[in-house]
Amino acid sequence: MSDGISRADVAHLANLARIDLSDAELDRLTPELTVILESVAQVAAIASADVPPTSHAVPLSNVFREDVVTPGLTPEQALAGAPAVEQQRFAVPRILGEDA
């Protein structure tokens, strides 16, 4: 991680995240992300085995809801923001190789 991130890594991640980056943007973002990763690495260096990794800002666990049905949206409400609607369903471009 301390080696930073390569331009190819940034291009790969952008592709996975469906973000279209220009060459100029890749040139700019690669050193910026390297700085960010170096900052994170400093925190990682301080953390020792007796400090558990944190993924949440609040120290809570076991927050559950009862298994009870509550009203949701009507189909009209649910589909109101859809790019296109057909047969009361969201109509979207098909993705190659997608499972049923």
Partner 1 sequence: MTATRTELVPFDAALETYDPAMGLEVHVELNTASKMFCGCSTVFGAEPNTQVCPTCLGLPGALPVVNGKAVESAIRIGLALNCSIAPWSRFARKNYFYPDMPKNFQTSQYDEPIAYDGWTEVTVETDEGPRVFRIDIERAHMEEDTGKSLHVGGSTGRIHGADHSLVDYNRAGIPLIEVVTKPILGAGKYAPLVARAYVASLRELVKALDVSDARMEQGSMRCDVNLSLAPSGSDVLGTRSETKNVNSLRSVERAVRYEVERHAGILDAGQKVVQETRHWHEDTGVTTSGREKSDAEDYRYFPEPDLVPVAPSDAWVEELRATLPEPPAERRARLQAEWGYSDLEMRDVVGAGAIDLIEATISAGATPTAARKWWLGDLARRANDTATPIDELGVTPTQVAEVQALVDAKRINDKLARQVFDGLVAGEGTPEEIVAARGLEVVSDDGALAAAVDRAIEANPDVADKIRDGKVAAAGALIGAVMKDMRGQADAGRVRELIIEKLS
For the CB of residue 68, give the shortest distance to partner 1 in the complex, in Å.
6
When asked if residue 51 is in the footprint of partner 1 (CB under 8 A), the reply is no
CB atoms inside a 10 Å sphere around CB 30: 17
61 binds partner 1 (CB under 8 A): yes
Q: Which is nearer to partner 1, 35 or 63 (CB)?
A: 63
The interface region with partner 1, picked from 3-11, 26-34, 39-47, 58-66 by CB under 8 A, is 58-66
What's the rounded Cα separation, in Å, for the pair 37 and 29?
12
- 8 Å CB contact between 79 and 88: yes
